[in-house]
Structure 1
């Protein structure tokens, strides 16, 4: 049977790789140092596989079909956006099928992909935690971009089912559970009911030419970086990390969709990935690191259920 080695949650941001490396004490320097500490702790854990839970930013999923959860079971490839790795990634296929079967038995109808495209929402944290893209992974993509989003409580329930599926998997090794996303950040709406014109068409029909859509979108994203006045709610971010350190996901789930967005912005919906991952591990955070980085448009946090030196 498989064993869960622990859980690690980590914020991601395009600007962690797009902007020049920060000078000592500069924006993002503390986060990157904390990320390196977390990587060394993961190396010491020596997991045999990793489940990475993260969002997609309209590189793999579009509003022609928008599933709440997608599990990759065979082939996965990084899109290569914003400096993340492009190309094939090693999928732990038998473990992925054990996850699928366990979630199905628990009443979750998770969409399957035999050929999954993942973007920096999965790959950046995967790379930062493991030091590359060699560790076999099970990618689980969560829709956090725009309605309909799975409820916060549904995500906690999915996490518990994921933990049970992993513990009963016929996988001879230790599995690290990782979550990528958040914390607070405010982004333009991706809701087709609220946007119009060419951008709306690309949100719905972008699959027809995903690289053209990405090329059109990337300059808009780049233009958001480097602003020291960008909105980040550090008070909420620290409250969130404190709640998970206390093993109190219920207080977070009780916020609901609208309150979460008020406090943490539209990008804050990515904390669903953290709720799933920590519920799977079934343990409170033992170590956290945090830096508000408005220049990266995001509160940059890390939390692990295992000690970090």
Structure 2
């Protein structure tokens, strides 16, 4: 019998790797890092065989020449390895991944894109680095478009999570499956709407996203400069409400928010809460447990870690 044994939501930031010594709020950073370790220990205790790993892509594996709303890795998976995150081939549970793709399409619920040679970036490899460290597991990578509008709605993401849950539970093999949602919470990246760039930096970014498939590293230095020059825009009120909803198993109540409302309230980087929502839906919105929330302006982001354990019952 296949069962879903644990969910984890965790923010990511490559600045954790590249600028740790320059982090001013070291106590906050250490609490966040320790919470990642506690979540990793919870995953180890749950003994998963496979992790459904949901995350974004920051124009390193997907480009403006082709960006599906949802892409499932069903074969090879290679991590980009930028900014000190793991690089190279990652182990994929191909049998389960292809079962999920088949089930989604044959049920008529989702005509999901798939990739037999998927490239992921720190939107997922950051979780591999910190949450799966030392664990002997395979992954099923699910990439959600969170940065190139039009974005899939939160309601659509929630429905996909429910559909993937049904597919996983119907898998005829014997799997213990965990789910990780990587990204968020509130932050604002100096990234334009690709449809309407203004100024040299925005024009450069859109050009990198359109033309970077063959020579992405040629754009890296200036991309990094633009990001490092950004000012933090963290929205603790949004983050607190989001985490409280997660703790009470009520994230589906946020699906009425539009993409524009999320950006206005918490920045364009907060679109990554779609990862958490998908994770929560895969856990059937069981109540979660917050392990950390820290405002880290040096990393531009409200950084959070939470665990959803279906074995804890329905009480938040």
Q: TM-score, normalised by structure 1?
A: 0.93
Structure 1 moving runs of 4+ over 4 Å = 21-25
Alignment length (residue pairs): 304
Following TM superposition, by how much is the alpha carbon of 1:219 offset from its aligned partner in structure 2, in angstroms?
A: 3.2
Q: Is 2:20 aligned against 1:17?
A: no
In the alignment, the residues of structure 2 paired with residue 49 and residue 203 of structure 1 have an alpha-carbon distance, to the nearest angstrom, of 32
- Local SS of the residue matching 1:172: coil
**1:140-174 deviation line (CA, Å, top 9, x unaligned):** 00000120100010000000001001101123120
**Rounded Cα–Cα distance in structure 2 between residues aligned with 1:106 and 1:160:** 14
Question: Which of 217, 225, 232 pairs up with 1:219?
Answer: 225
Match for 2:299 among 289, 296, 301?
Answer: 296
Give yes or no for contact 1:145–1:190 (8 Å, CA) kept in 2: no
Match of 1:269 in 2: 271
Aligned to 1:239: 241
Report the 3-state secondary structure (helix = DSSP H, G, I; strand = E; otherwise coil) of the residue aligned with 2:212.
helix
Give the whole-Å Cα distance in 1 for the aligned partners of 2:40 and 2:182. 14
- Tell me if the contact between 1:2 and 1:170 (Cα under 8 Å) persists in the aligned partners: yes
Displacement of 1:221 in angstroms is: 2.7
In the alignment, structure 1 residue 82 sits paired with structure 2 residue 83: yes
1:149 aligns with 2:151: yes
Secondary structure of the residue aligned to 1:208 is: coil
Alignment of 1:106-185 (within 5 A): 106-132=108-134, 134-185=136-187
Structure 2 equivalent of residue 7 of structure 1: 7
TM-score by length of 2: 0.91
Q: Which of 284, 287, 296 is residue 285 of structure 1 equivalent to?
A: 287
After TM superposition, list the pairs within 5 Å mapping 1:84-99 onto structure 2: 84-99=85-100
Distance 1:190 1:140, change over 3 A: farther
Does 2:75 correspond to 1:69?
no
Cα distance between partner residues in 2 of 1:86 and 1:7? 24
Partners of 1:106 and 1:161 within 8 A in 2: no
Q: In structure 2, what is the Cα distance between the partners aligned to 1:161 and 1:209?
A: 36
Quote the Cα distance in structure 1 between the aligned partners of 2:132 and 2:71: 22
State the Cα distance separating 1:197 from its structure 2 match.
Answer: 3.4
* Cα displacement string for residues 13-68 of structure 1 (whole angstroms, at most 9, x for unaligned residues): 11111122669953411111111111111111111110100000000111111111
Cα distance, 1:241–1:223 mapped onto 2, change above 3 Å: same
Counterpart secondary structure, 1:76: strand
Q: Let me know the Cα RMSD of the aligned residues.
A: 2.0
Name the SS of the counterpart of 1:244 in structure 2. Answer: helix
Gap runs ≥5 in structure 1: none
Which is worse superposed, 206-215 or 15-24? 15-24
Q: Give the Cα separation in 1 of the matches to 2:100 and 2:229.
A: 39
